[in-house]
Amino acid sequence: MTEDEFSPWAEPQIARYAQAKTRAGAWNPEEALANSHENFDRMLPKGLATPGHHVWVARDEKTSERVGTLWIEMRSSAAHSEAYVCFVEVDEAQRGKGYGRAIMDAGATAARRLGVASMALNVFEDNTTAYNLYSSLGYRTANRTMRLEL
């Protein structure tokens, strides 16, 4: 992703994340957008120059047309290293054409080259399309967060 592409990409993602966290019951609607901005700014304080973060625009191999985006964060501990998928999206007009699988496969290839042992991600419960894609790619549930509204 280029600097020129970053801001037009970031704002809609911040709004979508706020909506997803609200739907999941994690944030109230009045605070969701501010929380999402805070979270985004904490994760990417230097934008594309933030160390350990990689944000790519996915393009069709034949036409070079933009088809989606992928953002991964490199995470390491003494025992393990992984690429964490912070955000992946296929552009709306390109959905259903296999690009989601291709983007995730390309991300795994890039993560291997960057030297990590695994990839991890979070998927919201209501996003069954994404959950099914990740399952078909070999991702397995590592934990679940459950909530009881009181």
Quote the tokens at residue 119: 């990839």
- The Cβ-side half-sphere exposure at 84, using a 13 Å CA radius, reads 12
- Condensed to tens digits (0 to 9), the pLDDT of residues 41-100 reads 999 999 999 999 999 999 999 999 999 999 999 998 777 899 999 999 999 999 999 999
What is the Cα 1 distance to its own chain's centre? 14
Model confidence pLDDT, tens digit, residues 48-60: 999 999 999 999 9
Q: What is the Cα–Cα distance from 87 to 96, expressed in whole angstroms? A: 18
